Amino acid sequence: MGKIVLQSVLLNDTISDIVIDGNRFSEIVPSEQRKQYDNAELIDCSGLAILPAFYNAHTHAAMTLVRGYADDTPLFEWLNDYIWPFEAKLTAKDIEIGSRLAVLEMIKSGTVFFSDMYWHREATMKVVEEMGIRAAIGVTISDVLTSPKDLEDNFTFLKQHKGESERVKLVVMPHAIYTNTDECFKRSIAIAKEEKYVLHTHLSETSKEVNDCFLQYKCTPVELMEKWGALSSHFVAAHCVHFTEKDKKLFSQVGAVAVVNPCSNLKLGSGIPNIVSLLKNNIMVALGTDGASSNNNLDMREEMKMAGLLTKANDASVIVSKNDILKLATENGAKAYGIQNAGRIEEGWLADCILIRMDNERMVPCHDIVSNWIYGADSRAIDSVMCNGKFVMRNGHVDGEDDIVAEAVACVKRLM
C-alpha cells in the first residue's frame, strides 16, 4: 500500500504536510518544506485543520434503537415498562442494525473508537470490522440477567479470545455489582487477570447503588472492588459520580480509570460527576457518551463541551484547561483500553484523525482552534474522518449511509 500525504493541512499553528504510512503518521513537515514521495496519494487539505479523533470510553451502541423512547418517564417505569421489554425482543440481527446506526453516528461526529457493553457482541464486532473503526467489545457478564448456559458461553468466548483483531479488542464487562452475584463478579476479575483483559463495569453511578452496597457489604463499591482485587491500571469504571475521598485515593494509587458520562448522569438524575476532583486526585479520566437512550446521542464533541462547562460551573479559574478536556475525549479513552500511541497527531502515532473545515462559521474567527472545536463547533464542521490510516468518512459522506438509516427505521417499525 502506498503512502497518503495530507497536504497543506493546519496542524496547531502550522500549515503542514502529514505523511501516513500504513496505519501510522510517519512524517510531519511544514508545507513550506514540501518533500516528494514516490507512489503516494496526495490529498489537498487546504482550508482544513487536523485534530485527534474521539475515543468513546463507555457506551451501549445498539441502544440507538431506543433513542428518545419514552423520555421523561420516571427511571423505574422507563426501564420496567419500556426499555427492558423492548430489549427483550432484540435479535442479533436487530443489534447489528442498531450498532451500524451507532457507528454511522459516531463516524459522522468524529469518533473512531468505542467501548461497548451490550449483548450479541458478535453482531457489533462484525459492524466494526466492516465500517473500519475500532472498538473494545464487551463480553457482558451478569448471572442475574443471563442464563447459566449463556454465562458459560461468555467465559469460553473469553478463553478463546474469539474475534480479536487489529481494530477489535475484547474486554471483560461484568455489568455491575448489583447485577452479579459475588461469585460471578469475582470470576470475571479472575479471568481478566488470567487472560490479560481490561475489566470494565458500571461503578458508583447512583446514590442508590452506593447505599445498597453499604447495606450489603459495609463499604463503598470502590472499596468492594479493592477488597476483591479488581483495582489496577486495567480497571476501567463507568460513571464514578458518587466517589468518596477514599475511593479517589484507591483509584489514584493503582492508576484505575474513571470514565465520566455527564450527559447521561444528568439525564437520568444520577448527579454530576466531579471531574475537577477526580483530576486533582491524579486519576486518569476518560469520557463516554453512555447509550443513546440516556443522552440521546453519541456525540463526543457535545459531551466534551458538557464536561468542560461542568468543570467551571462555580469557579471559572483555569483548573481544567481546554487541552485537558480534549485529552479526556481522545488520548485518555484510547489509553484506558490499552491502545497505545493513539489520540495525538504525532509521528509514529496511529493515523486516527478528523479534518475540520476552517470555513465553517462556528470555527470563525480562529483565536484558538481547540477552544472553537470544544465550545463552538458541531459535527457540521467535520469534513473527513480517518481511522487506522484509512478514510471512514470523506467530504461528509460515509459509504452506505442511506441504507444504514433506512434499515434502522424499518427495524424499529417492525419491533414496535
* By CB under 8 A, residue 302 contacts its own copies: yes
Q: Look up cell 468524529; give the residue.
A: 110
Confirm if 404 and 100 have CB atoms less than 8 A apart: yes
Comparing C-alpha atoms, which of 340, 202, 183 is closest to residue 270?
202
Q: Which member of 271, 279, 338, 391 binds its own copies (CB under 8 A)? A: 271
Which of 11-19, 170-178, 242-250, 310-318 is the region at the interface with its own copies (rule: CB under 8 A)?
310-318
Q: For its own copies, give the closer residue by CB, 206 or 330.
A: 206
Task: Report the site for its own copies in 154-173 (rule: CB under 8 A).
Answer: none
In this structure, what C-alpha cell is assigned to residue 30? 511544514
Q: For its own copies, give the closer residue by CB, 254 or 272.
A: 272
Rounded to whole angstroms, the Cα distance separating 140 from 173 reads 5
Tell the smallest beta-carbon distance from residue 404 to its own copies (Å): 7
Tell the smallest beta-carbon distance from residue 276 to its own copies (Å): 11
Which of 13-21, 163-171, 337-345, 400-408 is the region at the interface with its own copies (rule: CB under 8 A)?
400-408
Exposure of 198 in the CB half-sphere (CA atoms within 13 A): 29
Task: Report the site for its own copies in 183-222 (rule: CB under 8 A).
Answer: none
Rounded to whole angstroms, the Cα distance separating 119 from 102 reads 15
SS3 389: coil
Confirm if 286 and 333 have CB atoms less than 8 A apart: yes
* By CB under 8 A, residue 300 contacts its own copies: no
Q: Which member of 277, 371, 390, 394 binds its own copies (CB under 8 A)? A: 371
Tell the smallest beta-carbon distance from residue 182 to its own copies (Å): 29
SS3 51: strand
Pairing of strands 382-387, 353-357: antiparallel
Tell the smallest beta-carbon distance from residue 301 to its own copies (Å): 9
Confirm if 48 and 55 have CB atoms less than 8 A apart: no
Comparing C-alpha atoms, which of 182, 161, 186 is closest to residue 171?
161
Q: Which member of 184, 283, 356, 408 binds its own copies (CB under 8 A)? A: 408
Task: Report the site for its own copies in 237-266 (rule: CB under 8 A).
Answer: 263, 265-266
Q: Within its chain, how far is the Cα of 74 from the centroid?
A: 26
Confirm if 256 and 307 have CB atoms less than 8 A apart: no
Rounded to whole angstroms, the Cα distance separating 116 from 63 reads 10
Which of 4-12, 113-121, 180-188, 397-405 is the region at the interface with its own copies (rule: CB under 8 A)?
397-405
* By CB under 8 A, residue 351 contacts its own copies: no
* By CB under 8 A, residue 292 contacts its own copies: yes
Task: Report the site for its own copies in 42-101 (rule: CB under 8 A).
Answer: 64-75, 101
* By CB under 8 A, residue 329 contacts its own copies: no
Rounded to whole angstroms, the Cα distance separating 354 from 107 reads 10
Q: For its own copies, give the closer residue by CB, 254 or 364.
A: 364
Q: For its own copies, give the closer residue by CB, 136 or 320.
A: 320
Compute the residue count for the chain: 416
Q: Which member of 13, 36, 245, 269 binds its own copies (CB under 8 A)? A: 269
Comparing C-alpha atoms, which of 81, 83, 76 is closest to residue 62?
83
Tell the smallest beta-carbon distance from residue 153 to its own copies (Å): 30
* By CB under 8 A, residue 372 contacts its own copies: yes
Tell the smallest beta-carbon distance from residue 82 to its own copies (Å): 9
DSSP secondary structure string for all residues of 206-229: SHHHHHHHHHHHSS-HHHHHHHTT
Q: For its own copies, give the closer residue by CB, 27 or 302.
A: 302
* By CB under 8 A, residue 384 contacts its own copies: no
* By CB under 8 A, residue 338 contacts its own copies: no
Comparing C-alpha atoms, which of 313, 306, 309 is closest to residue 287?
306
